[in-house]
Amino acid sequence: MPPAGAVEVPAGAFVMGTDAPIYPSDGEGPARRVEVGRFAIDVAPVRHAAFARFVAATGFETDAERLGGSFVFHDLVAADDASHATVVPGLPWWRFVPGASWAHPFGPSRGAEGLDDHPVVHVSWRDAAAYAAWVGGRLPTEVEWEYAGHGGRGTDRAEPFPWGHDLEAGGRHHANVWQGPFPECDEARDGFHGTSPVGAFPANGYGLVDVIGNVWEWTADRFDAAPGSARVRKGGSYLCHASSCARYRLPARSAGAEDDAAGNVGMRVAYDLT
């Protein structure tokens, strides 16, 4: 049986990737049929409250805490910490904020009050792997993540979203992503600026929520075959927009160093079934 908060994903096959990549250099394609064995995976990204229990039980120090800070989107930086924040060269919408971490997502002057049911953020790949091991699981492979993300769809053709081909199918918001001119103004027509509580949008066919948008999710796989290369992140985040980072699609992928953390990066746990 899957652990509490997880669902079994049956063995099967699906069309992974795409023949119409938006970012070909990311390795989004080609579309190919892939067989997948059964496994279990969390219904939702790991919540802040669950990660807090892990830290309280183990004394774990995250990479952001060890390295002295993390990256926060420019208009989410706590007001009292703005003067200490540093603009990231080449990415002016990001600020490196000393003292920002999972426990202080916006900067050291502000805690995480009211965020217990939001995805934990500012977790690196190493942090995510440690948490997954603590709960008796592991990080999903990229194949597992994408297969589960389709929710039973995509068996015969590649689709960009768990619900089909249109981001706002039926004129509805299906995920927490950016609306409006990026990075100046998030119009938040989906109801959220920054992270949203897990499950604020409809689940896919397997019952998984927040597969697309909200926070990037780490996988076990390396971004390319080179030893020591970055790890694959999937799903996009609340900052994704067609004009800037249309990686809120199932075949999309991004790379992150194993100690990399930011205010839009979280995780989901997978489990082996015997």
Q: What is the pLDDT of residue 237?
A: 98
> What one-character DSSP code corresponds to residue 102?
T
One-letter amino acid at 265 equals V
Instruction: Point out the residues of the chain with pLDDT beneath 70.
Output: none
Distance, in Å, from the CA atom of 136 to the CA atom of 3, rounded to the nearest integer, reads 9
Measured CA to CA in angstroms, residue 250 lies from 49, 196, 234 at distances of 27, 19, 7
Q: What is the pLDDT of residue 80?
A: 98
Q: What is the pLDDT of residue 154?
A: 81
Q: What is the pLDDT of residue 261?
A: 97
Q: What is the pLDDT of residue 106?
A: 98
Closest C-alpha among 161, 90, 172, 131 to residue 270? 131
CB atoms within 10 A of CB 1: 7
Q: What is the pLDDT of residue 70?
A: 98
One-letter amino acid at 139 equals L
Q: Note whether 162 and 150 are within 8 A (CB).
A: yes
Domain ranges of the chain: 6-271
pTM value is 0.97
Share of the chain above pLDDT 90, in %: 95
Q: What is the pLDDT of residues 25-81, one digit of tens each?
A: 999 999 999 999 999 999 999 999 999 999 999 999 999 999 999 999 999 999 999
Q: What is the pLDDT of residue 1?
A: 78
Q: Kindly compute the dihedral angle of the four CA atoms of residues 67, 110, 267, 17, in this order, to the nearest 10 degrees.
A: -90
Q: Note whether 256 and 233 are within 8 A (CB).
A: yes
**Does the N-terminal peptide bond of residue 183 adopt cis geometry, omega within 30 degrees of 0?**
yes
Q: What is the pLDDT of residue 72?
A: 98
Measured CA to CA in angstroms, residue 91 lies from 102, 105, 123 at distances of 21, 19, 20
Q: State the number of CA atoms in the 13 A half-sphere of 110 facing the CB.
A: 16
6-271: CATH architecture: Alpha-Beta Complex (3.90)
Distance, in Å, from the CA atom of 55 to the CA atom of 101, rounded to the nearest integer, reads 13
Q: State the number of CA atoms in the 13 A half-sphere of 155 facing the CB.
A: 9
Distance, in Å, from the CA atom of 146 to the CA atom of 16, rounded to the nearest integer, reads 7
- DSSP-assigned letters across all residues of 199-238: TSS---TTS---SSBSSEEEEEEESSSSTTPPEEEES--T
Q: What is the pLDDT of residue 131?
A: 98
